[in-house]
Amino acid sequence: MAARILQSNIEPLQKVDVDGVTVDIIENALRNAREEMDAVLFRTAMSPGIREQGDCFPMIANVEGKMIVGQFGSFIGPFLSAYDEEIEEGDVILTNDPYMCNAAVSHLPDWVVLVPVFKDSRHIAWSAMFGHMSDNGGMVPGSIPIEATTIYQEGIRIPPIKLYKRGELQSDLLELILHNVRTPQWNRFDLNALVAACNTARKRCIELAERFGDDVLYSTMDTMLQRNHAAMKHIIQMFIPEQPREFEDYICDDGMGMGPYKIKCRMWREGDIAIFDFDGTDPQAQSSVNFYLNEDMFKMFFGSFTINVVDPQIVFNDGFYDLVDVRIPQGTLLKPNFPAALSGRTHALGRIFDVLGALLGMGAPEQMLNAAGFSDSPHLFYSGYDDKGEWFQLFQIGFGGIPGRPVGDGPDGHSLWPGFTNVPNEFIESYFPLRIEKYATIADSGGAGLHRGGNGLSIAYRFLCDGHIGIHDERWLTYPWGVLGGETGQRSSKRLVRCDGSEQLLPAKIEGVKVSKGDLLYFNTWGGGGWGDPLERDPQLVLQDVRRRLVTPEGARRYGVVLNEDSALDDSATDDLRVCMRSAREGEVPLFNLGPGIDAIRERCEEETGLPAPVPPMFAAN
């Protein structure tokens, strides 16, 4: 089964020699077109998640569907192998169902648009873009139900369909889809924006082909893929060992009382091929925290991570995919059986980056090993009817602490995804019945180290209307681990202060919480783990952090730094404290500081977090 491209110009594209100057011109033009896709989307979308936060992923691909420029790799290949229909000029394809496109997208709120690019009736490229919709129907506003046990509870499933057929909008299909979501106006505008972004890229590809010729554009794309292949081949030989190494980390819970869930990966190299084997990962969860991880998606995670660490100037594309072999057992958390729920896959997705960073960094920790802190992408949902009786619905992605790294401190309060931005508080207060009473980093939440882990954020939301909230977060039970002597980051917490002054600690994953006008939610995210020995950090940097309110005077002592009553550095006391702290150490400093083991964490859970420990998962037969 595979898609069939219909084109009346059947003369095949030919490989031709292209000089280096032309390659550079076309390469930069394609990169600019990819940036223009974002610009068009952000200027025409309506929902804050896309318009303000940038929750989207653009791409331009060659005729085979291999990404040439983009953000996180191609989903066209898996889609084309699952789509058994004819594709013609003017078609615009829409889907959101992971189970019907080989996990080209990984949960239903992500709507993907694909546009085949034709010139003179010849297929010359693809453009594609997916964006996270604020609502997809289903059990709860925002369409990421924690307690969903099947994908049928997560909203409308859109099989691969032609939204436009030979250039004509299929309005009946569109209206049927929008009839099943809570925010039809936002979804309509966002979908139109996705199409407009793809059509912009289509236009730019045609212009390049008209200027340089179809074969030159095709050959240049191939050259860009080969460049990436050569670069990744060298990187794999440098950093992937022949001797296997393995690492495991945990999702704290599934939101239904069970956890933690283990993600385990072994990595090694055979010849030029890097192999990643997830055998040992826990079976699929009862709830929506499953992550249907397409093998090509993991390859793009691996490529994006390594290229950004080794040389961000390398153009990231899909040219290296044949150099990576990914093995994911069926029926596990990362490849659940249909119809398992998938909407809360963000938690496992974030943890994959922590696991990947650990595996790649072990061989060269001084150059490549990051601490943990990519860990998750926290969500807040708030919905109800305002004082005018009009429905409102907020979906917001929060930020945590980025881990300490070989090159320096982790950024404070930053997103897992480097392209995301925060939604301005002024925007939120203008469009939603909310007031942001606090937006600040949490001092000392980043793990101490030679390079400090980034601090988490504390955001205080004052609700101005009755409504309901939902929270999706992680790292409330397990710790963002430190490396090379760095300390663990602080875990996340959520605290709701009622109008009457009573307080309630909320789980990291909860929905349907009724809030009243005047209630105040403290949404505190995790800090990144520290990198390197805290006692080696320059005391002047610690003093600077204290003055910037990133570290408290008490927290400075974690670095062996003592401040006097005037908040000035006490050099003599600092020297004495550091000597004392060093002498108290026992044995060698471990490569990873994971914090207390899972059993110890479980025993002390309620004492430390105020929440009951999740019970070990009980898996039904798949």
CA 431 to each of CA 46, 262, 393, 396, 520: distance values in angstroms, whole numbers, following the listed order:
12, 40, 10, 13, 18
Domain span including residue 472: 371-533+589-616
Q: Where are the beta strands (DSSP E) in 443-483?
A: 457-463, 467-472, 482-483
> Which residue in 137, 37, 57, 42 sits closest to 104, CA to CA?
57
Tokens 């930053």 appear where?
414
Q: What three-state secondary structure class fits 262? A: strand
Query: What's the distance, Cα to Cα, between the start and end of the chain in Å?
Result: 26
H-type alpha helices, 114-258:
171-178, 184-212, 214-239
Q: At what angle do helices 214-239 and 184-212 cross, to 10 degrees?
A: 110
pLDDT for 620: 42
CB atoms within 10 A of CB 448: 31
Task: Output Rg (C-alpha) for the chain, integer angstroms.
Answer: 25
Q: What torsion, rounded to 10 degrees, do the Cα atoms 64, 67, 73, 79 define?
A: -30
Q: Which two tokens stand for residue 413?
A: 């309060």
The set of residues, in sequence order, having a beta carbon less than 8 Å from that of 607 and lying 6+ positions away, is none
Model pLDDT, residue 1: 58
Q: Is residue 489 part of a domain?
A: yes
Q: Model's pTM, two decimal places? A: 0.93
Dihedral angle of Cα 162, 168, 171, 174, to the nearest 10 degrees: 30
Pair type for strands 324-327 and 273-277: parallel
DSSP codes, 570-615? -HHHHHHHHHHHHHT--SPPPSEE--S-HHHHHHHHHHHHSSPPPB
Domain annotation covers residue 452: yes
Structure tokens at 577: 């404290």
Position 67 in a domain: yes
Is there a domain that residue 546 lies in?
no
d(CA 475, CA 461): 21
**Strands 86-87 and 4-5, how do they pair?**
parallel
Q: Cα separations (Å) of 450 from 55, 537, 546, 600?
A: 33, 4, 15, 27
Q: What is the DSSP letter of 324?
A: E
Looking at the domain assignment, is residue 160 inside a domain? yes
Residue finishing a domain among 204, 232, 260: 232
Please state, in angstroms and rounded to a whole number, the distance separating the CA atoms of residues 537 and 229.
39
Question: Contact 144/109 with Cβ under 8 angstroms?
Answer: yes
Can you tell me the distance from the alpha carbon of 205 to that of 548, in angstroms, rounded to the nearest whole number? 48
Residue 316 within any structural domain of the chain? no
Residue type, 553: P
H-state helical runs in 311-364 = 346-361
Q: What is the pLDDT of residue 388?
A: 94
Peptide bond into 260 cis (omega under 30): yes
Last-in-domain residue among 200, 232, 264: 232
Residue 426 belongs to some domain of the structure: yes
pLDDT the model gives residue 314: 75
Task: Give the pLDDT score at 448.
Answer: 97
Residue 304 lies in a domain: no
* pLDDT at residue 622, rounded to an integer: 39
Output the six-digit token pair for 17: 């020699």
d(CA 532, CA 530): 7
User: Does residue 272 sit in helix, strand or coil?
Assistant: coil
Tally of domains in the chain: 2
User: Cα separation of 404 and 506, whole Å?
Assistant: 28
- DSSP state for residue 179 in the 8-state scheme: T
Identify the segments of the chain with pLDDT beneath 50.
620-622
- Contacts of residue 251, defined as CB under 8 A and 6 or more positions apart, other chains included, come to 259, 260, 261, 263, 289, 333, 347, 348, 351, 474
Q: Report pLDDT for 416.
A: 67
- Judge residue 140's burial from the number of C-beta atoms within 10 Å of its C-beta, 0-12 exposed, 13-18 middle, 19 or more buried: buried
Per the CB < 8 A criterion, the answer to whether 400 and 456 are in contact is yes
Amino acid letter, 541: L
